[in-house]
Amino acid sequence: MRISKIFSFVFHPILMPTYAIFLLFTFTPFLSEFMNISQKTQILKLTIIFTFLLPVFSVLILKKFKVVTSIYMENRKERRWPLLLAIGSYYLLFRLFDAIHIHYVIIQLLLGAMLILFLSAIVSNFWKISLHMLGIGGVIGAFLAIHYLFGGDINLIITIIFCAGLVGFSRINEKAHNLKQVYLGFVVGVITEFLIFLF
């Protein structure tokens, strides 16, 4: 397996919310004042269920009924239903987190992810924007906003930006996207999450 394919798999957009929550708990000490290890573990489990397992299951169902031809959704026209179902799953998690009064930073992170999914569903109707770069760009935008508002580890942001560069190179190397699709995906992801946190 080529290394670019490995990067594309490890940094798949469907994994970004789980990574973001994990990094949030690991590198933002102020959250420790509001929740213990057990609560953090429960939140991480719920995030995995609603932002990873349910969307994957829905894509497998869509593939079985031939709504999509591949779980990788390389054809932009096939992205609409998987993205809309993912938005629905994210919304259920949002309602659950809101009902149990989870810290608003996590709520903002999830709202930003939902908006990114919504934008990608719209754009995918007429253009193949990079979902990988939207995802990792969103994580960077969230942590830039958190660093701006609360302070934090700038080395974490630098590391994620480096990873984003590897992901972007991998998507181009795999001929999944061109430069414009990669750059625009990254910029939209960063700006969307950053603005959600600020406003």
Q: Taking each helix axis from N to C terminus, what angle separates 3-10 and 154-173, rounded to the nearest 10 degrees?
A: 130
pLDDT tens-digit series, residues 104-162: 999 999 999 999 999 999 998 889 999 999 999 999 999 999 999 988 889 999 999 99
If one counts every other C-beta atom within 10 angstroms of the C-beta of residue 97, the result is: 20
Closest CA to 12 of 118, 133, 183, 119: 133
Q: State the residue range of the domain holding 128.
A: 3-198
The verdict on pTM exceeding 0.85 is yes
Tally of structural domains, the chain: 1
If one counts every other C-beta atom within 10 angstroms of the C-beta of residue 29, the result is: 12
Per the CB < 8 A criterion, the answer to whether 173 and 4 are in contact is yes
- What's the CA angle centered on 179, arms 177 and 181, to 5 degrees? 55
